[in-house]
Structure 1
């Protein structure tokens, strides 16, 4: 990295964090600062509630991060974590955690210690499985693990009674656990781009389910028994090799050739976030709209520390 640019970046980080510390700010956002290490100065911000250090090149967290007793929302997406940080087992107060786009490969059993989690994103992490300890996250409402290599859902997922949103799009799944129907709060389920050759009957037992996405799987037929068991759900089966010559069509099922009905499927959804869900957004962005550190605050800090292009070269 250009040394001048490196100097400027480090001082921009220092200025932002020192301003946050002096004002007892609850939010710090340090996206795309080319950080290779966690800035230790952040540990002085005892009032910190949201921390976004995504889009950097950080590969580890210091054990001292446990000093941030008020930290509840942490975004680490697009960094270089190759393993699940062991210090997480001591951050039991975390409410939301975004680990997406890190080459983690294994979601450690330590994830089970994060009993306060309501939102967990681990998209595009090369995961081959979810640990059984995922069932310990009984407050979890949103679980996103798209674009991985998961071939089996752990039976313990049925313990997540508060789970509302679940996306396992683009994995290697072909079935769900027998007790999957115990997910008594599940509203949106995205199983697009997997290896399902049928719709598991256990899914039809989820009476709260309103949206089931199973596009780009290996279904050859629409199972009438399953569809009739969940008339409240909109079921998208586009881009499956369906053979429908003599099959009955259902008003709540979307198949290739019935694209005109898709708009009705979206418009009928009273959930304001459904558009992002249906468009398969890769990751969740933390919402800082109610935090103490506004964009104008950051602009004020940067007014006396000019931002150089990372491509600048010394003369």
Structure 2
């Protein structure tokens, strides 16, 4: 009995000892907030990701991770052999973003091999002075905290290439920021800065500078010394005067000065590399021909929400221009030679008191506007040659118009069926190029239209009640422009793959749950507008087949996620994604424009 009880007691003791030993070696996430397995993996990879773990403080094990690895290397016991100390490296990347950190320990200096430190989206009010010990640091992200000042210690990180400080409470920058001679990326947007230190001119390697959403009233002339700048964003400030000599910034590719108080367009050198220029929501009255003449490689130009009255003829020298936004200005007309701007894919004129351009032409879009302007160059303004007026229930009017450059068939005023006498007027004509049946109540594509399908180049069927299209759409082989907006369509027939010349299609305000698969077969497509549908996802593999696609508008859909690979579409110059369900990219990124969105998406592509 005694032996049995003794054996039983010993047995219980052994189980408890085993349990204690097991607990010492297993995951201790409850005690430290960081699983041991994660720390072990970090010692092998040199990278530790602790983002979004609700950490109120960083566990000491993290700061001491290099010291613990060193101890392992000095030990030769069999217990440590199982950790393969010979494979361990010092920590080079630490991600502490999206936690609840209010302070960073001075012990951060123990991680002196760090190359990248991410502390975004926390509650930090300051950074310890010991951060200056991180002399290998190349990337430092402090965005979305509560920093009221940037410590001088940060400016001692002479190898820093990227410094992200957006969405803090900074009122000034230290003059020592000029010490960061290797800095390439600086984001100080969404702070409370009213001026910049003169020492900023020393940042000659800077390529990306974002100062948007601050309280700047003057853009300092020192910016001109940053000759490496490629992207400069000073939007949403109070800038009235640009003292910068932009002719010195001949590497600049993107300039955003939207939402300020400037009155003149900056002057650039003739050998500039500017591709995107955003000047919307300012007080600009004049577009000087001499200025536009030097913008020969600009692809996107935003002049919306200004006071411009006149567009000079020199605009045609902007031979690479693809998107030109002139929304809400005082423009009454456009120079006819703009009709020859073959690269222009999107010309936006809404909110102007246009007199020389009819409203219906403007509503048809860029292709129609440019074609009209070309017709005026040749002196062949379309004249009404024949018309048929047929009253259906007192409100139907149908016209057939002809000109030396082609003919239009026009039906309007809410008809549900195109009257036969219209077809008799145009029967046998080989001049029909444009058909406009917008703003009716058509439920099907009229069968007689198929007779002219092989000649039609533009077809307008928007604002009807079409729920499907016939397979005979395959006959429209010369179509370059198709407007199907404001209908009840949920899909498109696969036979439309024969539309190999189609350059622009409008699918907005329909019932599409996805971009129809036939769209991806239209190899000449340059403009795809599919706003206000129910599209849930973006098929990047399909879009990659559209090598000419330069304008993609998917606003106001049900898209839940934006694939990072979308940023690899090299031809895309205008991407609109607002009004969807996704949370990333954030609205702040979308507001920066296509270039910034594409760059952001490429940065999120996982590296192998």
Same fold, TM-score > 0.5, yes or no: yes
1:259 and 1:77 map into 2 onto residues whose CA distance is 41
Mapping for residues 156-235 of structure 1, pairs under 5 Å: 156-177=245-266, 179-182=267-270, 184-201=272-289, 202-223=291-312, 225-234=313-322, 235=324
Distance change >3 Å, CA 255–CA 137, structure 1 → 2: same
Query: Does residue 371 of structure 2 align to residue 60 of structure 1?
Result: no
2:61 and 2:603 map into 1 onto residues whose CA distance is 19
Deviations 1:206-251 (A, max 9, x none): 222121110111122333x23223233132212223223x864834
1:128 and 1:118 map into 2 onto residues whose CA distance is 23
Q: In the alignment, which of 176, 188, 197 is matched to residue 99 of structure 1? A: 188
Moved more, 52-61 or 261-270: 261-270
Query: Does residue 12 of structure 2 align to residue 12 of structure 1?
Result: no
Q: Which residue of 2 aligns with 1:305?
A: none
Q: In the alignment, which of 549, 572, 575 is matched to residue 275 of structure 1? A: 575
TM-score of the superposed pair, with normalisation by structure 1: 0.77
SS at match of 1:88: helix
Deviations 1:54-93 (A, max 9, x none): 1111122222224423211000001111112212011111
- Confirm or deny: 8 A CA contact 1:36 1:58 kept in the other structure: yes
Aligned CA RMSD, in angstroms, stands at: 3.5
Deviation at 1:17, TM superposition (A): 6.4
- Confirm or deny: 8 A CA contact 1:165 1:189 kept in the other structure: yes
2:259 and 2:364 map into 1 onto residues whose CA distance is 22
Moved more, 102-111 or 179-188: 179-188
1:216 and 1:249 map into 2 onto residues whose CA distance is 24
- Confirm or deny: 8 A CA contact 1:49 1:70 kept in the other structure: yes
Deviation at 1:291, TM superposition (A): 10
Q: In the alignment, which of 348, 354, 363 is matched to residue 254 of structure 1? A: 348
Distance change >3 Å, CA 61–CA 227, structure 1 → 2: same
Q: Which residue of 1 aligns with 2:385?
A: none
2:590 and 2:227 map into 1 onto residues whose CA distance is 27
Moved more, 69-78 or 17-26: 17-26
Deviation at 1:19, TM superposition (A): 5.9
Deviation at 1:47, TM superposition (A): 2.6
1:131 and 1:166 map into 2 onto residues whose CA distance is 15
- Confirm or deny: 8 A CA contact 2:158 2:181 kept in the other structure: no
- Confirm or deny: 8 A CA contact 1:27 1:291 kept in the other structure: no
Q: In the alignment, which of 208, 216, 232 is matched to residue 143 of structure 1? A: 232
Query: Does residue 198 of structure 2 align to residue 109 of structure 1?
Result: yes
SS at match of 1:227: helix
Deviations 1:261-295 (A, max 9, x none): 49757843745575379953288869865999xxx
SS at match of 1:250: helix
1:189 and 1:149 map into 2 onto residues whose CA distance is 18
1:100 and 1:176 map into 2 onto residues whose CA distance is 23
Structure 1: runs of 5+ lacking an equivalent: 1-7, 293-315
Q: Which residue of 2 aligns with 1:301?
A: none
SS at match of 2:242: coil
- Confirm or deny: 8 A CA contact 1:17 1:28 kept in the other structure: no
1:41 and 1:291 map into 2 onto residues whose CA distance is 32
- Confirm or deny: 8 A CA contact 2:222 2:244 kept in the other structure: no
- Confirm or deny: 8 A CA contact 1:17 1:42 kept in the other structure: no
SS at match of 2:232: strand
SS at match of 1:11: coil
Deviations 1:110-139 (A, max 9, x none): 210111101100001111111111110001
Q: Which residue of 2 aligns with 1:308?
A: none
Mapping for residues 63-78 of structure 1, pairs under 5 Å: 63-78=152-167
TM-score of the superposed pair, with normalisation by structure 2: 0.42
Q: In the alignment, which of 116, 119, 123 is matched to residue 212 of structure 2? A: 123
Moved more, 258-267 or 183-192: 258-267
